[in-house]
Amino acid sequence: MSRIGKTVLPAAMVIGDLAMTNLSLLAAYQLRFRSGLLPPAQEVHQLSDYAGLAALYSVLFCLFLFGQGGYRLTRGQSRLDEFSRVFTVVSIGTVLAMAIVSFIAPDFNFSRAMLSLGWLIAILSIWLIRMFQYGLHSLLRRHGMVPERVLIVGTGDMARAVQQRISRAPWLGYQVVGLVGESAGEDTPTVGIRAEIGDLVRGTGATEIIVAEPSLTHLDILDIISRCEKEHVNIKVFPDVFQIITSEAAIGDLDGLPMISVRDTALRGWNLTIKRTMDLVFSAAALVLLSPLMLLTAILIKITSPSGPTFFVQERVGLDGKPFQVIKFRSMHPDAEAQTGPVWAGKGDPRTTRLGGFLRRWSIDEMPQFINVLLGEMSVVGPRPERPVFVEEFSQRVPRYLERHKEKAGLTGWAQVHGLRGQVSIEERTAYDLWYVEHWTVWLDLKIILMTIMETLKGENAY
Protein backbone atom coordinates (compact mmCIF):
# COMPACT_ATOMS: atom_id res chain seq x y z
CA MET A 1 0.00 0.00 0.00
CA SER A 2 1.24 3.51 -0.78
CA ARG A 3 2.35 6.03 1.82
CA ILE A 4 -0.98 7.84 1.64
CA GLY A 5 -2.73 4.61 2.57
CA LYS A 6 -0.38 3.77 5.44
CA THR A 7 -0.02 7.15 7.15
CA VAL A 8 -2.05 10.02 5.74
CA LEU A 9 -5.48 8.35 5.75
CA PRO A 10 -5.26 6.95 9.32
CA ALA A 11 -3.92 10.31 10.53
CA ALA A 12 -6.85 12.06 8.85
CA MET A 13 -9.23 9.71 10.66
CA VAL A 14 -7.67 10.54 14.03
CA ILE A 15 -7.88 14.28 13.31
CA GLY A 16 -11.50 13.94 12.21
CA ASP A 17 -12.42 12.03 15.40
CA LEU A 18 -10.70 14.59 17.64
CA ALA A 19 -12.38 17.47 15.82
CA MET A 20 -15.86 15.95 16.01
CA THR A 21 -15.42 15.06 19.69
CA ASN A 22 -14.58 18.62 20.68
CA LEU A 23 -17.10 20.21 18.33
CA SER A 24 -19.80 17.96 19.82
CA LEU A 25 -19.05 19.20 23.34
CA LEU A 26 -18.97 22.79 22.05
CA ALA A 27 -22.35 22.34 20.33
CA ALA A 28 -23.79 20.74 23.46
CA TYR A 29 -22.56 23.67 25.57
CA GLN A 30 -24.11 26.21 23.22
CA LEU A 31 -27.42 24.35 23.16
CA ARG A 32 -27.58 24.04 26.94
CA PHE A 33 -26.36 27.44 28.13
CA ARG A 34 -26.58 29.86 25.19
CA SER A 35 -29.35 28.88 22.78
CA GLY A 36 -32.37 29.46 25.00
CA LEU A 37 -33.99 26.30 23.59
CA LEU A 38 -33.83 24.51 26.94
CA PRO A 39 -35.10 25.60 30.37
CA PRO A 40 -32.63 27.93 32.13
CA ALA A 41 -29.91 26.16 34.06
CA GLN A 42 -29.72 26.64 37.82
CA GLU A 43 -25.99 27.23 37.45
CA VAL A 44 -24.46 28.68 34.29
CA HIS A 45 -21.03 27.21 33.59
CA GLN A 46 -18.23 28.69 31.52
CA LEU A 47 -16.96 26.81 28.48
CA SER A 48 -13.50 26.68 30.02
CA ASP A 49 -14.93 24.62 32.90
CA TYR A 50 -15.19 21.70 30.51
CA ALA A 51 -11.76 22.01 28.89
CA GLY A 52 -10.23 19.27 31.01
CA LEU A 53 -13.15 16.95 30.39
CA ALA A 54 -12.95 17.58 26.64
CA ALA A 55 -9.23 16.80 26.52
CA LEU A 56 -9.61 13.62 28.56
CA TYR A 57 -12.66 12.56 26.58
CA SER A 58 -10.83 13.02 23.26
CA VAL A 59 -7.82 10.97 24.37
CA LEU A 60 -9.95 8.15 25.80
CA PHE A 61 -12.12 7.96 22.71
CA CYS A 62 -9.16 7.69 20.32
CA LEU A 63 -7.43 5.12 22.55
CA PHE A 64 -10.55 2.94 22.75
CA LEU A 65 -11.15 3.22 19.04
CA PHE A 66 -7.54 2.35 18.31
CA GLY A 67 -7.88 -0.70 20.56
CA GLN A 68 -10.90 -1.85 18.54
CA GLY A 69 -9.06 -1.50 15.24
CA GLY A 70 -10.89 1.68 14.33
CA TYR A 71 -7.91 3.14 12.48
CA ARG A 72 -7.24 0.19 10.24
CA LEU A 73 -8.16 0.81 6.62
CA THR A 74 -10.61 -2.06 6.38
CA ARG A 75 -12.46 -2.77 3.16
CA GLY A 76 -16.22 -3.16 2.88
CA GLN A 77 -16.89 -1.76 6.37
CA SER A 78 -20.58 -1.98 7.24
CA ARG A 79 -22.20 1.36 8.15
CA LEU A 80 -24.23 -0.33 10.89
CA ASP A 81 -21.21 -2.11 12.35
CA GLU A 82 -19.37 1.20 12.42
CA PHE A 83 -22.32 2.88 14.13
CA SER A 84 -22.35 0.13 16.75
CA ARG A 85 -18.62 0.58 17.34
CA VAL A 86 -18.88 4.38 17.62
CA PHE A 87 -21.90 4.10 19.95
CA THR A 88 -20.04 1.70 22.25
CA VAL A 89 -16.79 3.65 22.32
CA VAL A 90 -18.43 7.06 22.83
CA SER A 91 -20.65 5.70 25.62
CA ILE A 92 -17.77 4.05 27.45
CA GLY A 93 -15.52 7.09 26.93
CA THR A 94 -18.19 9.45 28.28
CA VAL A 95 -18.80 7.43 31.44
CA LEU A 96 -15.10 6.87 32.12
CA ALA A 97 -14.15 10.52 31.50
CA MET A 98 -16.88 11.69 33.88
CA ALA A 99 -15.74 9.21 36.52
CA ILE A 100 -12.11 10.35 36.30
CA VAL A 101 -12.94 14.07 36.41
CA SER A 102 -15.38 13.49 39.32
CA PHE A 103 -12.58 11.76 41.21
CA ILE A 104 -10.12 14.58 40.50
CA ALA A 105 -12.60 17.45 41.04
CA PRO A 106 -15.39 16.11 43.28
CA ASP A 107 -16.85 19.57 43.93
CA PHE A 108 -17.59 20.34 40.27
CA ASN A 109 -21.28 19.82 39.40
CA PHE A 110 -21.56 18.68 35.77
CA SER A 111 -24.52 19.71 33.66
CA ARG A 112 -26.26 16.41 32.99
CA ALA A 113 -28.28 17.91 30.14
CA MET A 114 -25.14 19.19 28.44
CA LEU A 115 -23.29 15.89 28.78
CA SER A 116 -26.31 13.98 27.46
CA LEU A 117 -26.48 16.29 24.46
CA GLY A 118 -22.72 15.96 23.93
CA TRP A 119 -22.96 12.17 24.05
CA LEU A 120 -25.74 12.10 21.44
CA ILE A 121 -24.15 14.68 19.13
CA ALA A 122 -20.77 12.96 19.38
CA ILE A 123 -22.20 9.60 18.31
CA LEU A 124 -23.93 11.08 15.26
CA SER A 125 -21.17 13.46 14.20
CA ILE A 126 -18.30 10.98 14.60
CA TRP A 127 -20.24 8.32 12.72
CA LEU A 128 -21.05 10.75 9.91
CA ILE A 129 -17.47 11.96 9.54
CA ARG A 130 -16.33 8.34 9.44
CA MET A 131 -18.88 7.52 6.76
CA PHE A 132 -17.54 10.44 4.75
CA GLN A 133 -13.97 9.20 5.26
CA TYR A 134 -14.87 5.63 4.26
CA GLY A 135 -16.56 6.99 1.15
CA LEU A 136 -13.42 8.98 0.35
CA HIS A 137 -11.27 5.89 0.88
CA SER A 138 -13.49 3.91 -1.50
CA LEU A 139 -13.21 6.66 -4.10
CA LEU A 140 -9.41 6.66 -3.82
CA ARG A 141 -9.30 2.88 -4.11
CA ARG A 142 -11.63 2.90 -7.10
CA HIS A 143 -9.15 5.18 -8.87
CA GLY A 144 -6.15 3.05 -7.87
CA MET A 145 -4.62 5.57 -5.46
CA VAL A 146 -4.30 3.17 -2.49
CA PRO A 147 -3.95 -0.21 -4.20
CA GLU A 148 -3.61 -3.58 -2.51
CA ARG A 149 -1.87 -5.99 -4.88
CA VAL A 150 -3.18 -9.52 -4.44
CA LEU A 151 -1.89 -12.96 -5.37
CA ILE A 152 -4.53 -15.71 -5.43
CA VAL A 153 -3.25 -19.21 -4.66
CA GLY A 154 -5.37 -21.61 -6.69
CA THR A 155 -6.63 -22.10 -10.22
CA GLY A 156 -10.00 -23.82 -9.68
CA ASP A 157 -13.58 -22.61 -9.37
CA MET A 158 -13.04 -21.09 -5.94
CA ALA A 159 -10.02 -19.06 -7.06
CA ARG A 160 -11.89 -17.78 -10.11
CA ALA A 161 -14.89 -16.91 -7.91
CA VAL A 162 -12.65 -14.81 -5.65
CA GLN A 163 -11.11 -13.14 -8.70
CA GLN A 164 -14.54 -12.32 -10.12
CA ARG A 165 -15.80 -10.95 -6.81
CA ILE A 166 -12.76 -8.64 -6.60
CA SER A 167 -13.33 -7.44 -10.17
CA ARG A 168 -16.96 -6.59 -9.30
CA ALA A 169 -15.92 -4.50 -6.30
CA PRO A 170 -13.39 -1.88 -7.49
CA TRP A 171 -14.10 0.26 -4.41
CA LEU A 172 -12.23 -2.34 -2.31
CA GLY A 173 -9.00 -1.33 -4.02
CA TYR A 174 -7.74 -4.85 -4.69
CA GLN A 175 -5.69 -5.51 -7.81
CA VAL A 176 -5.23 -9.18 -8.67
CA VAL A 177 -1.69 -9.57 -10.02
CA GLY A 178 -2.18 -13.23 -10.89
CA LEU A 179 -3.10 -16.77 -9.94
CA VAL A 180 -0.55 -19.14 -8.42
CA GLY A 181 -0.80 -22.78 -9.52
CA GLU A 182 0.38 -26.11 -8.18
CA SER A 183 2.74 -26.86 -11.03
CA ALA A 184 3.75 -25.57 -14.44
CA GLY A 185 1.69 -26.40 -17.53
CA GLU A 186 -1.80 -25.90 -16.05
CA ASP A 187 -4.63 -24.86 -18.37
CA THR A 188 -5.40 -21.72 -16.36
CA PRO A 189 -2.89 -18.88 -16.94
CA THR A 190 -0.73 -18.33 -13.85
CA VAL A 191 2.15 -16.09 -12.82
CA GLY A 192 4.03 -18.98 -11.25
CA ILE A 193 3.80 -22.02 -9.02
CA ARG A 194 3.30 -22.32 -5.28
CA ALA A 195 6.90 -23.38 -4.63
CA GLU A 196 7.98 -19.93 -5.90
CA ILE A 197 5.51 -17.96 -3.80
CA GLY A 198 8.19 -15.94 -1.99
CA ASP A 199 9.81 -14.83 -5.26
CA LEU A 200 6.38 -14.09 -6.74
CA VAL A 201 5.55 -11.77 -3.84
CA ARG A 202 8.76 -9.82 -4.39
CA GLY A 203 8.44 -9.81 -8.17
CA THR A 204 4.81 -8.65 -8.30
CA GLY A 205 4.92 -6.33 -5.30
CA ALA A 206 1.99 -8.21 -3.74
CA THR A 207 0.90 -7.06 -0.30
CA GLU A 208 -1.73 -9.74 0.24
CA ILE A 209 -2.14 -13.44 -0.55
CA ILE A 210 -5.55 -15.10 -0.70
CA VAL A 211 -5.43 -18.90 -0.55
CA ALA A 212 -8.46 -20.14 -2.50
CA GLU A 213 -7.69 -23.80 -3.14
CA PRO A 214 -9.80 -26.21 -1.01
CA SER A 215 -7.58 -29.21 -1.79
CA LEU A 216 -4.61 -27.75 0.10
CA THR A 217 -3.78 -29.39 3.40
CA HIS A 218 -2.79 -27.52 6.55
CA LEU A 219 0.81 -28.50 5.79
CA ASP A 220 0.53 -26.85 2.37
CA ILE A 221 -0.75 -23.65 3.98
CA LEU A 222 2.04 -23.73 6.56
CA ASP A 223 4.49 -24.11 3.68
CA ILE A 224 3.10 -20.96 2.03
CA ILE A 225 3.44 -19.05 5.30
CA SER A 226 6.99 -20.30 5.74
CA ARG A 227 8.04 -19.28 2.24
CA CYS A 228 6.64 -15.76 2.80
CA GLU A 229 8.09 -15.37 6.30
CA LYS A 230 10.53 -12.63 5.23
CA GLU A 231 7.99 -10.76 3.14
CA HIS A 232 5.65 -8.03 4.42
CA VAL A 233 2.51 -9.69 3.12
CA ASN A 234 -0.88 -10.52 4.64
CA ILE A 235 -2.14 -14.08 4.11
CA LYS A 236 -5.83 -14.96 4.14
CA VAL A 237 -7.44 -18.36 3.59
CA PHE A 238 -10.76 -18.60 1.81
CA PRO A 239 -12.46 -21.61 3.42
CA ASP A 240 -14.34 -24.40 1.71
CA VAL A 241 -17.56 -23.21 3.28
CA PHE A 242 -19.62 -26.30 2.54
CA GLN A 243 -17.24 -29.14 3.36
CA ILE A 244 -15.48 -27.57 6.34
CA ILE A 245 -16.96 -24.54 8.01
CA THR A 246 -19.38 -21.65 7.60
CA SER A 247 -18.53 -19.85 10.81
CA GLU A 248 -15.51 -18.14 12.24
CA ALA A 249 -13.40 -20.53 14.28
CA ALA A 250 -13.47 -19.78 18.00
CA ILE A 251 -10.62 -20.82 20.26
CA GLY A 252 -11.47 -22.19 23.69
CA ASP A 253 -10.43 -24.98 25.98
CA LEU A 254 -11.71 -28.18 27.55
CA ASP A 255 -10.26 -28.23 31.06
CA GLY A 256 -7.06 -26.71 29.73
CA LEU A 257 -6.98 -28.70 26.47
CA PRO A 258 -7.05 -26.24 23.51
CA MET A 259 -10.15 -26.65 21.37
CA ILE A 260 -11.34 -24.92 18.19
CA SER A 261 -15.10 -24.57 17.79
CA VAL A 262 -16.12 -24.63 14.13
CA ARG A 263 -19.87 -24.81 14.66
CA ASP A 264 -21.99 -23.40 17.45
CA THR A 265 -25.72 -23.28 16.79
CA ALA A 266 -26.95 -19.94 18.08
CA LEU A 267 -30.73 -20.33 17.76
CA ARG A 268 -31.77 -22.57 20.61
CA GLY A 269 -33.25 -22.28 24.10
CA TRP A 270 -34.24 -18.77 25.12
CA ASN A 271 -32.89 -17.37 21.87
CA LEU A 272 -35.82 -18.98 20.05
CA THR A 273 -38.25 -17.22 22.39
CA ILE A 274 -36.48 -13.89 21.87
CA LYS A 275 -36.56 -14.28 18.09
CA ARG A 276 -40.23 -15.24 18.09
CA THR A 277 -41.07 -12.22 20.25
CA MET A 278 -39.22 -9.98 17.81
CA ASP A 279 -41.13 -11.55 14.92
CA LEU A 280 -44.49 -10.91 16.60
CA VAL A 281 -43.65 -7.28 17.38
CA PHE A 282 -42.20 -6.48 13.93
CA SER A 283 -44.91 -8.28 11.92
CA ALA A 284 -47.80 -6.78 13.91
CA ALA A 285 -46.32 -3.28 13.67
CA ALA A 286 -45.58 -3.70 9.95
CA LEU A 287 -49.10 -4.89 9.13
CA VAL A 288 -50.60 -1.89 10.95
CA LEU A 289 -48.22 0.70 9.50
CA LEU A 290 -48.25 -0.70 5.97
CA SER A 291 -52.00 -1.40 5.79
CA PRO A 292 -52.81 1.77 3.75
CA LEU A 293 -50.12 0.90 1.18
CA MET A 294 -51.26 -2.73 1.07
CA LEU A 295 -54.88 -1.70 0.53
CA LEU A 296 -53.85 0.64 -2.30
CA THR A 297 -51.74 -2.11 -3.87
CA ALA A 298 -54.64 -4.57 -3.76
CA ILE A 299 -56.93 -2.06 -5.47
CA LEU A 300 -54.36 -1.30 -8.19
CA ILE A 301 -53.85 -4.99 -8.90
CA LYS A 302 -57.58 -5.52 -9.45
CA ILE A 303 -57.77 -2.44 -11.68
CA THR A 304 -54.72 -3.22 -13.84
CA SER A 305 -55.16 -7.01 -13.99
CA PRO A 306 -58.81 -7.84 -13.22
CA SER A 307 -58.74 -11.39 -14.61
CA GLY A 308 -56.56 -12.75 -11.81
CA PRO A 309 -56.60 -12.84 -8.00
CA THR A 310 -55.12 -10.09 -5.84
CA PHE A 311 -52.97 -12.44 -3.80
CA PHE A 312 -50.64 -15.15 -5.02
CA VAL A 313 -50.36 -18.21 -2.77
CA GLN A 314 -47.61 -20.74 -3.43
CA GLU A 315 -46.13 -23.72 -1.61
CA ARG A 316 -42.66 -23.18 -0.16
CA VAL A 317 -40.39 -25.26 2.07
CA GLY A 318 -39.87 -23.98 5.60
CA LEU A 319 -38.63 -25.13 8.99
CA ASP A 320 -37.47 -28.77 9.09
CA GLY A 321 -38.39 -29.16 5.43
CA LYS A 322 -42.11 -28.78 6.07
CA PRO A 323 -44.18 -27.09 3.34
CA PHE A 324 -46.30 -24.00 3.95
CA GLN A 325 -48.28 -21.57 1.81
CA VAL A 326 -46.48 -18.26 1.28
CA ILE A 327 -48.64 -15.19 0.59
CA LYS A 328 -47.63 -12.46 -1.88
CA PHE A 329 -49.30 -9.80 -3.96
CA ARG A 330 -49.74 -11.16 -7.48
CA SER A 331 -47.17 -9.59 -9.79
CA MET A 332 -47.49 -11.89 -12.82
CA HIS A 333 -50.16 -12.70 -15.36
CA PRO A 334 -52.54 -15.55 -14.45
CA ASP A 335 -51.17 -18.99 -15.42
CA ALA A 336 -47.73 -17.43 -15.86
CA GLU A 337 -45.98 -20.82 -15.79
CA ALA A 338 -48.37 -22.62 -18.10
CA GLN A 339 -45.78 -22.54 -20.89
CA THR A 340 -42.52 -22.57 -18.92
CA GLY A 341 -43.17 -24.70 -15.87
CA PRO A 342 -41.43 -23.83 -12.56
CA VAL A 343 -38.64 -21.32 -13.29
CA TRP A 344 -37.01 -18.46 -11.44
CA ALA A 345 -38.05 -14.95 -12.35
CA GLY A 346 -35.50 -13.06 -14.43
CA LYS A 347 -34.78 -9.47 -15.33
CA GLY A 348 -37.38 -8.17 -17.79
CA ASP A 349 -39.46 -11.32 -17.26
CA PRO A 350 -42.33 -11.21 -19.80
CA ARG A 351 -44.64 -12.98 -17.33
CA THR A 352 -44.64 -9.91 -15.06
CA THR A 353 -47.40 -7.33 -15.35
CA ARG A 354 -46.52 -3.65 -15.66
CA LEU A 355 -47.61 -3.00 -12.10
CA GLY A 356 -45.98 -6.26 -11.01
CA GLY A 357 -42.60 -5.09 -12.24
CA PHE A 358 -42.89 -2.03 -10.03
CA LEU A 359 -44.07 -4.10 -7.06
CA ARG A 360 -41.17 -6.55 -7.41
CA ARG A 361 -38.56 -3.83 -7.87
CA TRP A 362 -39.48 -2.23 -4.55
CA SER A 363 -40.39 -5.54 -2.81
CA ILE A 364 -43.97 -4.40 -2.22
CA ASP A 365 -45.20 -7.80 -3.41
CA GLU A 366 -43.54 -9.39 -0.36
CA MET A 367 -45.52 -7.37 2.22
CA PRO A 368 -48.32 -9.93 2.78
CA GLN A 369 -45.67 -12.35 4.06
CA PHE A 370 -45.84 -10.50 7.36
CA ILE A 371 -49.02 -12.56 7.79
CA ASN A 372 -46.89 -15.71 7.46
CA VAL A 373 -44.58 -14.29 10.10
CA LEU A 374 -47.46 -13.49 12.45
CA LEU A 375 -48.76 -17.06 12.04
CA GLY A 376 -45.34 -18.46 12.92
CA GLU A 377 -44.69 -20.02 9.50
CA MET A 378 -41.88 -17.59 8.73
CA SER A 379 -39.52 -15.22 10.52
CA VAL A 380 -38.72 -11.62 9.61
CA VAL A 381 -35.08 -12.65 9.09
CA GLY A 382 -33.93 -16.03 7.86
CA PRO A 383 -33.05 -17.99 4.71
CA ARG A 384 -35.47 -17.20 1.89
CA PRO A 385 -37.89 -20.09 1.23
CA GLU A 386 -37.79 -21.96 -2.07
CA ARG A 387 -40.34 -24.09 -3.88
CA PRO A 388 -40.18 -27.87 -3.34
CA VAL A 389 -39.02 -28.51 -6.92
CA PHE A 390 -36.04 -26.20 -6.47
CA VAL A 391 -35.24 -27.57 -3.01
CA GLU A 392 -35.07 -31.05 -4.50
CA GLU A 393 -32.75 -29.84 -7.26
CA PHE A 394 -30.45 -27.77 -5.06
CA SER A 395 -30.15 -30.43 -2.35
CA GLN A 396 -28.72 -32.81 -4.96
CA ARG A 397 -25.90 -30.52 -6.07
CA VAL A 398 -25.20 -28.11 -3.18
CA PRO A 399 -23.58 -29.66 -0.09
CA ARG A 400 -25.31 -28.81 3.21
CA TYR A 401 -28.16 -27.08 1.37
CA LEU A 402 -30.83 -28.74 3.52
CA GLU A 403 -29.22 -27.40 6.70
CA ARG A 404 -30.65 -23.97 5.90
CA HIS A 405 -34.07 -25.45 6.77
CA LYS A 406 -33.04 -25.93 10.40
CA GLU A 407 -34.36 -22.40 10.99
CA LYS A 408 -37.54 -20.68 9.85
CA ALA A 409 -37.57 -19.14 6.41
CA GLY A 410 -37.39 -15.35 6.40
CA LEU A 411 -38.77 -12.32 4.62
CA THR A 412 -35.18 -11.16 4.23
CA GLY A 413 -31.81 -12.65 5.01
CA TRP A 414 -28.04 -12.28 5.21
CA ALA A 415 -27.69 -13.34 1.58
CA GLN A 416 -30.29 -10.89 0.30
CA VAL A 417 -28.72 -7.82 1.94
CA HIS A 418 -25.44 -8.74 0.24
CA GLY A 419 -26.99 -8.58 -3.21
CA LEU A 420 -27.65 -12.31 -3.59
CA ARG A 421 -31.17 -12.02 -4.95
CA GLY A 422 -32.67 -13.24 -8.18
CA GLN A 423 -30.63 -15.39 -10.54
CA VAL A 424 -27.37 -15.64 -8.59
CA SER A 425 -25.16 -18.50 -7.47
CA ILE A 426 -27.20 -20.79 -5.20
CA GLU A 427 -23.93 -22.10 -3.75
CA GLU A 428 -22.91 -18.63 -2.62
CA ARG A 429 -26.39 -17.85 -1.32
CA THR A 430 -26.39 -21.08 0.69
CA ALA A 431 -23.03 -20.20 2.25
CA TYR A 432 -24.46 -16.89 3.47
CA ASP A 433 -27.60 -18.61 4.81
CA LEU A 434 -25.57 -21.16 6.78
CA TRP A 435 -23.37 -18.40 8.19
CA TYR A 436 -26.48 -16.60 9.45
CA VAL A 437 -27.86 -19.76 11.07
CA GLU A 438 -24.64 -20.24 13.05
CA HIS A 439 -24.10 -16.58 13.97
CA TRP A 440 -27.58 -15.39 14.95
CA THR A 441 -27.83 -12.57 17.46
CA VAL A 442 -30.50 -9.96 18.16
CA TRP A 443 -28.15 -7.29 16.81
CA LEU A 444 -27.56 -9.29 13.62
CA ASP A 445 -31.31 -9.47 12.98
CA LEU A 446 -31.71 -5.73 13.60
CA LYS A 447 -28.73 -5.05 11.34
CA ILE A 448 -30.22 -7.15 8.53
CA ILE A 449 -33.59 -5.40 8.87
CA LEU A 450 -31.94 -1.97 8.59
CA MET A 451 -29.76 -3.12 5.68
CA THR A 452 -32.88 -4.50 3.96
CA ILE A 453 -34.57 -1.11 4.17
CA MET A 454 -31.53 0.53 2.57
CA GLU A 455 -31.24 -2.16 -0.12
CA THR A 456 -34.98 -1.88 -0.89
CA LEU A 457 -34.61 1.86 -1.44
CA LYS A 458 -31.90 1.08 -4.01
CA GLY A 459 -34.23 -1.32 -5.83
CA GLU A 460 -31.35 -3.47 -7.14
CA ASN A 461 -31.39 -7.21 -7.99
CA ALA A 462 -35.15 -7.32 -7.44
CA TYR A 463 -37.20 -8.51 -10.40
Which pLDDT tens digit goes with each residue over 415-457?
888 887 766 778 888 888 888 887 888 888 988 998 888 888 7
Report, as an integer, the average pLDDT of 247-266: 52
User: Which phi and psi (to 5°) does residue 375 adopt?
Assistant: -80, -10
Which pLDDT tens digit goes with each residue over 348-379?
677 888 898 889 888 899 999 999 999 999 99
CB atoms within 10 A of CB 41: 12
- The structure's pTM equals 0.62
What is the per-residue pLDDT for 163? 85
13: Cβ–Cβ under 8 A, 6 or more apart, which residues? 70, 71, 130, 133
What is the per-residue pLDDT for 259? 54
CA angle 35, 37, 39 (to 5 degrees): 110
Report, as an integer, the average pLDDT of 86-95: 86
User: Which phi and psi (to 5°) does residue 388 adopt?
Assistant: -55, -35
Report, as an integer, the average pLDDT of 12-34: 89
Q: Which of helix, strand or coil describes residue 460?
A: coil
What is the per-residue pLDDT for 249? 54
Which pLDDT tens digit goes with each residue over 138-147?
787 777 676 7
Which pLDDT tens digit goes with each residue over 209-245?
888 888 888 888 888 888 888 887 888 887 664 444 4
191: Cβ–Cβ under 8 A, 6 or more apart, which residues? 151, 177, 178, 179, 180, 200, 204
Give domain limits for the chain: 3-142, 148-238, 270-458
Beta bridge partners of 379: 410
Task: Say yes or no: domain 148-238 is CATH 3.40.50.720.
Answer: yes
Q: Which of helix, strand or coil describes residue 236?
A: strand
Burial class, 322, CB count within 10 angstroms (exposed 0-12 / middle 13-18 / buried 19+): exposed
Q: Which of helix, strand or coil describes residue 89?
A: helix
What is the per-residue pLDDT for 377? 93
